[in-house]
Amino acid sequence: MSTPMTGDAPSSSTPPVTLVGCGRWGRNIARNLHELGALAGVYEVDPHAREAVRESWPGVPLWGALDDIPTDHAVAIAAPAADHARLARHFLERDQHVFVEKPLALDVREGQALVELAARRGRTLMVGHLLHYHPAVEVLAKLVRDGALGRLRYLYSNRLNLGRFRREENSLWSFAPHDVAVLLRLVGRSPERVAATGGYFLHPKVADTTVTTLGWADGVQAHIYVSWLHPFKEQRLVVVGQDAMAVFDDRAPDHKLVLYRHGVEWIDGRPQPVKAEAEPVAIPPAEPLRKEMQVFLDACTDPNAAPLSDGAEGLRVLTVLDAAERSLRQGGVPVTPTVQLAAQVHPSASVDAGAVVGEGTRVWHHVHVMRGAVVGRDCVLGQNVFVQSGAVLGDRVRVQNNVSIYDGVVLADDVFCGPSCVFTNVTRPRAHVSRKDAFAPTRVGKGATIGANATVVCGHSIGAHAFVAAGAVVSRDVPPHALVVGVPARVSGWVCSCGERLALPAAPAAASTATCHRCEQRWTWTDGALVEGS
């Protein structure tokens, strides 16, 4: 291990980050992290790359082994794709926040395991879907969300270049994750079917070019054409709506996003095009990678921050890539993207293709689990439960009847949700105002209990083993082991991990102790928190 860094140290509000892998793209990540004051170390095995790090960022430690990386560092992984899952798992198991370049993994089950592990550990898992943070894509997504293009009809994305040729992954896995991520964002849901064909010219088992077609139940279609065997570089996305068409050309020197308000006029029973002039759309200047790294840093310090490209989003993209790969191997046969594992699902329940449901989970009458939702192992979802596409449930979660779990809600392992308890995702909803961009996340810690008819206002966290009484309204963060009651909820006492109330006042004196009469665990009030033992 090298000597401690002698350059500028990160500020107290900026988490230290170690970069794992500093190749061609990793150097860009390192540059941005360094300029943000967060680059606290680099792990790289290639001697030439290590020397380049010494020259570019003198004083930044070069770790000699993965276990040399301090456990209080967040980690950004820019290693080869085949190593993503292994490395991400290693650091999540050490309770470190992890950013991993696309794709999240090369296997759906490995990706699912990572998402579940991050949820159990309460750590950030973020995937490098860079285009989400491109200002043109952000503006385009808002145009679609606000209805400026009308009902979507079809979309296509071309990502073409000459090189860089790879052997550990084909062009689909190398290029298409960005395009899949953006298409899912614009359409708002995963496709019903995926079909892919490819060409093998430089290696008999590695596709150099692929065309992937996505189809949705409401008729929306999209295709993705990627190739590293193309005479020039092209990165273009076209979105065709009922009222307007948009073109995002990342290679355009001036106007990267342009609107065309073309129309169709019927004359004598025949459709005729009505063309309009191109309308350039103003795009604020910003470096996407800089914003992506800042989002990761914010997520490491704010438990309520929910990156757009979090692990659940990465898994949704991974299921589509997996379906495309399976179709590719079968000569273009359409495949349904799904990662549902063995679970007991009642015939009246609806578990959408693309939902992740862990082994041993029981899904009861009239439950609806949307595509993209992640439900861990050995959970129970009672009658009339609804789980939205962006929700994440850990292992052994119990959700009683008539509970809706919306986008942005993350329930850690062993959480209990009582009948008809309520989660929200917007603080000031209006029926006539779309506020999907204002969703606020809710995180519930391991072993916490939410009583019947309680309401949890979005944007707040409930600590591990906390107990929210029936009918309470949570409008601020709840500390671990706190018993909260009333409207608004306030701390009225403290509970053991087993759920029994402890003989402690709402505001214990320093060094106060209590022993659980049920499990005999001893607890001490230390530094404003309940700690096991004396």
Average pLDDT for 195-216: 95
pLDDT score of 436: 62
Least confident of 94-108, 425-439, 514-528: 425-439
pLDDT score of 534: 63
Chain segment 445-456, per-residue pLDDT in tens: 999 999 999 999
Topology match between the domains 17-129+290-301 and 132-283 = no
At 344, is the pLDDT very low, low, confident or very high (cuts 50, 70, 90)? confident
Backbone angles phi, psi at 26, to 5 degrees: -55, -35
DSSP string, 199-227: E-SSSTTS-SEEEEEEE-TTS-EEEEEEE
Least confident of 35-44, 48-57, 264-273, 483-492: 264-273
DSSP-based three-state secondary structure for 290 = helix
DSSP-based three-state secondary structure for 163 = coil
Res 502 pLDDT > 80: yes
CA gap 74, 302 in Å, rounded: 13
pLDDT score of 379: 93
Average pLDDT for 28-40: 97
At 342, is the pLDDT very low, low, confident or very high (cuts 50, 70, 90)? low
pLDDT score of 119: 79
Neighbours of 225 (CB within 10 A): 20
Average pLDDT for 249-272: 89
Chain segment 127-164, per-residue pLDDT in tens: 999 999 999 999 999 999 989 999 999 999 999 999 88
Neighbours of 439 (CB within 10 A): 18
Res 504 pLDDT > 50: yes
DSSP string, 309-334: TBHHHHHHHHHHHHHHHHHHHTTS--
Domain 132-283 has CATH 3.30.360.10: yes
CA torsion 186-287-390-312 (nearest 10°) is: 120
Closest CA to 287 of 252, 258, 250: 250
Domain ranges for the chain, please list them.
17-129+290-301, 132-283
* Helix (H) or strand (E) segment spanning residue 90: helix 84-92
pLDDT score of 7: 37
At 302, is the pLDDT very low, low, confident or very high (cuts 50, 70, 90)? confident
Chain segment 351-405, per-residue pLDDT in tens: 887 788 888 898 999 999 998 899 988 899 999 999 998 899 998 999 999 999 9
Mean confidence (pLDDT) of the chain: 91
Q: How buried is residue 138: exposed, middle or buried, by Cβ count under 10 Å (0-12/13-18/19+)? A: buried
pLDDT score of 438: 62
Chain segment 307-340, per-residue pLDDT in tens: 899 998 999 999 999 999 999 999 999 998 875 4
pLDDT score of 345: 85
At 435, is the pLDDT very low, low, confident or very high (cuts 50, 70, 90)? low
Q: How buried is residue 217: exposed, middle or buried, by Cβ count under 10 Å (0-12/13-18/19+)? A: exposed
- Top mean-pLDDT range of 186-190, 381-385, 431-435: 381-385
Residue 131: both structure tokens together: 């285009």
Res 271 pLDDT > 60: yes
Helices 311-329 and 108-121: crossing angle, nearest 10°? 170
Closest CA to 159 of 114, 102, 117, 120: 102
Average pLDDT for 210-229: 95
Res 440 pLDDT > 60: yes
Closest CA to 281 of 425, 171, 409, 140: 140
Closest CA to 481 of 498, 471, 467: 467
Q: What is the CATH number of domain 17-129+290-301?
A: 3.40.50.720
